[in-house]
Structure 1
Amino acid sequence: MLNSKSKHYLYAVFGYIVISAVSYILLNQFGAPFVAHQPLVKDASATDRFWDLQAAALWGLILIGIIVIITRSYRNKQLNSPDRVSSKKEIFLLLGYMVFAQLLGLGIGKLFDFHAISFHLAGSIYGNHGKIMLSEMLVWSCYNFIMYVVLPLVYFISKKGYTLSQLNIISNKNILRDMTVIIIILIIESIVQLEGLSDALLNLSPRQIIFGGFMAFIFNLFGTAIPTAVFLFAILYPRFKAVTNSAVTPIILGGLTYTALHFFDSWMVFSSSGAFLASLSALFMQYFMPGVVKSVLTDRTGNPWVHMWAYHVFVPHVIIDTPHFVDSFNIQ
């Protein structure tokens, strides 16, 4: 007989296979309208894109195995969370707030004639790779930082009486041990992304790498990396663990929530039901596994900041997005 943990693993694998099969059908039926906007893959078919995403998911599983191995000696790594009843109430509050913030970001983007404000700046991963105005970058990064970092912390500290330690913002974990994990994963993932995703960074001049990389780092740090670390992994994820009391379910929920936070990314196409379904399929395959990897890093280390340095702000955003910032700022 399988134990509860094994059953959860099997359910997760089966669910992913089913969703992938449906995604394959949808992408082949309706095409991949978002792909044409990315110069690197403008001639790729929907099938090519599907298998590229599946390869990325397979690498995610391998990376999870590496994370488990290098954190096997971790002990007493639990994140702080309230009791189960309080956690359940706060989960609904946080998820409702997330939907509101995403819809408001859509509205503000339209108001200023920008792209919708989601968790990736327009031009990141897919979408419009033309120049993005500085004003749009500033609005995007400031909005996400205020909505997903400042306001949640103000509410939970001033209204609910939590401390920064109770919200996992301040970590008393072993810093040297966490730095080891960060460095190992950062090196491995940097090599993989430069070899398998894009080596455009290596074609830039030293000046472009320095100044473009700095801009990519700063804007993505405040626009997506810190918001993800604080809202999802410091506050929401520990409450998933408290409510589910499971080793697997919180990780799955972390992956799904991370996916939902990118719902209005600029490459999503809503022009028809077919285009939307194809985009939705790619959304899941693009972000679910990275969200799972971030969840595992957080779960294994008990520190919501580890994933940010090891697997977010530098890779992919500095490595992949620097050419985009070089182009937008016309850095010679």
Structure 2
Amino acid sequence: MLHNGRVINMQIRTRKHVLYAIAGYIGVSAAIYFIFRKFGAPFVAHQPLVEYASAMERFWDFQAGSLWGFVLIGLIVLITRGYRNRQLQSPGRGTSKKELSLLLGYMAFAQLLGLVLGKLFGFHAISFHLAGSIYGNHEHVKLTEMLVWSCYNFIVYAVLPVVYLMLKKGYTLSQLNIISNKNVLRDTMVIIAILIIESIVQLGGLSDALLHLSPRQILLGGFAAFSFNLFGTAIPTAVFLFAILYPRFKAVTNSAIVPIVFGGLAYTALHFFDSWMVFRSPGAFLTSLSALFLQYFMPGVVKSVLTDRTGNPWVHMWAYHVIVPHVIIDTPHFVDALILKNE
């Protein structure tokens, strides 16, 4: 009876947190609506994938994307409904709290360092998306910038944190969730299902530019999009955010929903200096910050749900990151950047 009562209390608490999270998102979106109305959207002029006539048109497009995110979460829960919840490994609550402070401070420093180094080399700021990726100023990006961007993110967010935690703290790769004995077949089925669904949605609703490329452009541009994004954003996200940070969010909060929200917020913060952000005035900064939240919070939440439901930080990378959207949407950008002419 005591166990059943604890389970019921946990379910009630989870439902409350879900309602709080949804209410919070609606409240933030309402505030952003008035921000867009007052200041417009200076980043719209940066030639995103789709041309927008007004800031409000962009706002409602963001909301449509978020609504699809809620639908996708429902599909993920449905697909994984028969799974036994496999927990990611993490230290105790006290240790997790101390390490979270260190890791979040490191994340802020790494973003600022990326800004400084990017400007020092004459590039865009080094953030979690390559300039022109997904949404932004699709100006020509040189191969050198691509290499610096991908190497920096891979080393700073994937290699160094793992090396530090292993050598300084004594963790193993298994304890850091880098390797595990998960159900490969089960996870592969989830990956394939989400990959197919999301590919159809993105090609049909976001951009079908990939379908207008020649086979040679798709092959070479797709390989470049896959390779650079794999090391520049997909692996860093899987390692730093979902193998290391996310389990510590869970340990500290002891909640089923709050870590998912934190995962969405952390994923948003990792893109703080994306190339389309505009800082020239307080209004432009406020609007850009609002758009940053609408652009990345829900994808971060979806990735968190995939990680939480499967207990595997690598599932989201293959199902909902490196191929969709980055190969599906970014291939034309790499074709242009590498000057792969149609022959």
Give the equivalent residue in structure 2 for 1:79. Answer: 88
Aligned with residue 53 of structure 1, among 53, 62, 82: 62
Give the equivalent residue in structure 2 for 1:246. Answer: 255
Q: CA deviation at 1:39?
A: 5.2
Aligned with residue 214 of structure 2, among 175, 180, 205: 205
Give the equivalent residue in structure 1 for 2:311. Answer: 302
Q: CA deviation at 1:40?
A: 3.9
Does the CA contact (< 8 Å) of 2:118 and 2:124 recur in 1?
Answer: yes
Q: Does 2:90 correspond to 1:90?
A: no
Q: CA deviation at 1:125?
A: 2.3
Give the equivalent residue in structure 1 for 2:3. Answer: none
Does the CA contact (< 8 Å) of 2:210 and 2:329 recur in 1?
Answer: yes
Q: Distance in 2 between matches of 1:39 and 1:246?
A: 37
Q: Deviations over 1:130-175 (max 9, x none)?
A: 2100110011000000100110011000100000000000021100
Q: Secondary structure at the match of 1:151?
A: helix
Does the CA contact (< 8 Å) of 1:35 and 1:126 recur in 2?
Answer: no
Q: In the alignment, residue 316 of structure 2 is paired with which amino acid?
A: H
Q: Deviations over 1:287-331 (max 9, x none)?
A: 000000000000000000000000000000001000000001011
Structure 1 residues 16-55: aligned runs within 5 Å: 16-38=25-47, 40-55=49-64
Q: In the alignment, residue 67 of structure 1 is paired with which amino acid?
A: I
Q: Deviations over 1:25-62 (max 9, x none)?
A: 11111111111112543342111111101010010011
Q: In the alignment, residue 16 of structure 2 is paired with which amino acid?
A: K
Q: Secondary structure at the match of 2:42?
A: coil
Aligned with residue 5 of structure 1, among 4, 10, 14: 14
Q: Percent identity?
A: 77
Structure 2 runs not aligned, ≥5 long: 1-8
Give the equivalent residue in structure 1 for 2:185. Answer: 176
Does the CA contact (< 8 Å) of 1:258 and 1:287 recur in 2?
Answer: yes
Q: CA deviation at 1:126?
A: 2.4
Give the equivalent residue in structure 2 for 1:68. Answer: 77
Q: Distance in 2 between matches of 1:102 and 1:317?
A: 21
Q: Distance in 2 between matches of 1:180 and 1:4?
A: 31
Structure 1 runs not aligned, ≥5 long: none
Q: Distance in 1 between matches of 2:277 and 2:195?
A: 28
Q: Deviations over 1:192-243 (max 9, x none)?
A: 0000000000010000000000000000000000000000000000000011
Give the equivalent residue in structure 2 for 1:256. Answer: 265
Q: CA deviation at 1:11?
A: 1.2
- Following TM superposition, the consecutive aligned residue runs of length 4 or more in structure 1 with deviations greater than 3 angstroms are 39-43
Q: In the alignment, residue 9 of structure 1 is paired with which amino acid?
A: V
Q: Distance in 2 between matches of 1:11 and 1:303?
A: 26
Q: Distance in 1 between matches of 2:18 and 2:111?
A: 30
Q: Distance in 1 between matches of 2:86 and 2:60?
A: 36
Does the CA contact (< 8 Å) of 2:48 and 2:135 recur in 1?
Answer: no
Does the CA contact (< 8 Å) of 1:34 and 1:126 recur in 2?
Answer: no
Q: Secondary structure at the match of 1:220?
A: helix
Q: Does 2:141 correspond to 1:128?
A: no
Give the equivalent residue in structure 2 for 1:146. Answer: 155
Q: Does 2:128 correspond to 1:119?
A: yes
Does the CA contact (< 8 Å) of 2:195 and 2:324 recur in 1?
Answer: yes
Q: Distance in 1 between matches of 2:53 and 2:19?
A: 33
Does the CA contact (< 8 Å) of 1:87 and 1:242 recur in 2?
Answer: yes
RMSD of aligned residue pairs (Cα, Å): 1.1
Does the CA contact (< 8 Å) of 2:49 and 2:135 recur in 1?
Answer: no
Q: CA deviation at 1:76?
A: 4.2
